[in-house]
Amino acid sequence: MVQESQPNWPTMLAKTKIDHPNAWTTDSVRSKSDVAYPLSKMELADLDQALRIVKERGLDLENIRVRDFSLTALKAALTQWLHKIQERKGLVLLSGFPVDRYSKEDCGLIFWGIGAHMGEALSQSLAGDLLGHVVNLGGKNARYRAYQNSTELALHADTTDIVGMMCLTPAKEGGLSGYAAAAAIYNELVENYPNVLITLCEGFHYHLFGEQAEGESPRQQ
């Protein structure tokens, strides 16, 4: 009897490039306009109406669900955004939102309300916060996330399916946000560094750097 050998998945993966819109590079995304969606006056009014209703009801931000933040003019756009995020390049930049018109709290409610239509909010922080604020808190508190200090935050992958960001106050200097397509990085490794990719596909340990829960190992696989 001849036993068939099992396929070497890491080696096979290292030879296969990803052919998908989410493997974009700067050849296909040259500027913000390539992924921008300008909000219309009607769509902005829709957000304003939804905000007014949740405030009248006195709902706490984290208790707001889709049914509470009702949208009509934006309904088709939301479907379009999700399609672009999940099936196309994975990027959508909403432009034309009048941040100066609202308080920080109101901006948070609108941001959360839009997110409620896209999925369930999850915390990526040991502190358990579902809506994090990018601000320099200083100090060396282990519970502070990397975006809560003034050091540069390198490209990384978050553990959620969709990540949203909203700029309330532009930085006096610096403060640039950069994004890269993980699939494009993968293709670069396939083409130029296949041996590295084989190692990565075998899995590896990473360190939580003080963000592990009580009794949890700081090393994860």
- Domain range enclosing 107: 35-176
Q: How far apart are CA 221 and CA 182, in angstroms?
A: 19
Are 64 and 54 in contact by the 8 Å Cβ rule? The answer is: yes
pLDDT at 139: 65
pLDDT at 208: 66
By CB atoms closer than 10 A (0-12, 13-18, 19+), residue 114 is: buried
Q: Which residues pair with 36 in a beta bridge?
A: 93
pLDDT at 122: 85
Tell me how many domains the chain contains.
Answer: 2
pLDDT at 219: 63
* 28 assigned to some structural domain: no
Same domain, 135 and 49: yes
pTM of the model: 0.82
* 218 assigned to some structural domain: no
pLDDT averages per 10-residue partition of the chain, 221 residues: 55 78 93 94 97 95 94 96 95 95 96 94 77 76 67 80 90 82 93 86 71 64 57
* 116 assigned to some structural domain: yes
Same domain, 83 and 189: no
Same domain, 134 and 61: yes
* 126 assigned to some structural domain: yes
- Domain end: 137, 159, 176, which one? 176
* Amino acid occupying residue 165: M
Are 118 and 162 in contact by the 8 Å Cβ rule? The answer is: yes
Which one-letter DSSP state was computed for residue 4?
P
pLDDT at 115: 95
Same domain, 101 and 166: yes
The β-bridge relationship of strands 206-207 and 219-220 is: antiparallel
